[in-house]
Amino acid sequence: MRIDTLEDLYIEQLKDIYSANIQALDVTKAMAKAATDQDLASALNAGADGIVDGISSLKGMAQRHDESLEGETCKGMEGLANEARTHALEQEFGEEATKDAMIITQYQRLTHYAIAGYGCLAAFADRLELDDDLALLKTCLDASYDGDRTMTKLATGGINEQALS
C-alpha cells in the first residue's frame, strides 16, 4: 500500500497496532501462566483483558473506515514477542522472583510499544478530526500507561528485592 496522506498513514498504523496486539496477547497470556507471584499473574491477566479490549476497539475503528485489519504483520512486536518468549519463558532461572522480574521487564517492553503506537494514532486521529476514534485511542493509551505503572509498582514493591537473594 502506498502511503500518500495522513489518513493513509493512520490506516496503515491501525493495521500495525492491531497485529501488535494480537501478538502481544498470546505472549502476555503465556507470561501470566509462567508468573510465580500471584499479583503479577493477576496483573498480566488484566493486561491481557486490556489487550482484548484494544483489539475490539481497533476492529470498530476499521469498520467505520471500511478497512480490514487482517494481513498485516507487525515486525516490531514480532521481535518483542520473540524476545519475551526467549528471555522470560524459555530461559532457566534459579529463583522464582528473578523469573518474575524478567517477566515484568519483557511485559513493559511490549507495553511501551503499545504506548508509542496508540500515542501516534491518537495524534493522527486528532489532526484528522476523528473524534470517536480519538476517544477510543485515548482509552487504549491510558490502559497501556496503567499497565506499565502497575508493573513498575510490582517490581519496586518487592519482586526486584526478592530477586536480589
Residue 137 in any domain: the answer is yes
User: What pLDDT is recorded for position 164?
Assistant: 87
pLDDT digits (tens, 9 = 90+) for 45-78: 999 999 999 999 999 999 999 999 998 899 999 9
Residue 139 in any domain: the answer is yes
User: What pLDDT is recorded for position 86?
Assistant: 97
Residue 142 in any domain: the answer is yes
Residue 148 in any domain: the answer is yes
Residue 1 in any domain: the answer is no
pLDDT digits (tens, 9 = 90+) for 86-126: 999 999 999 999 999 999 999 999 999 999 999 999 999 99
Residues spanned by the domain of 159: 6-163
User: What pLDDT is recorded for position 35?
Assistant: 97
Domain containing residue 63: CATH number: 1.20.1260.10
Residue 80 in any domain: the answer is yes
Rounded to whole angstroms, the Cα distance separating 151 from 157 reads 9
Residue 81 in any domain: the answer is yes
Residue 149 in any domain: the answer is yes
Give the chain's domain count.
1
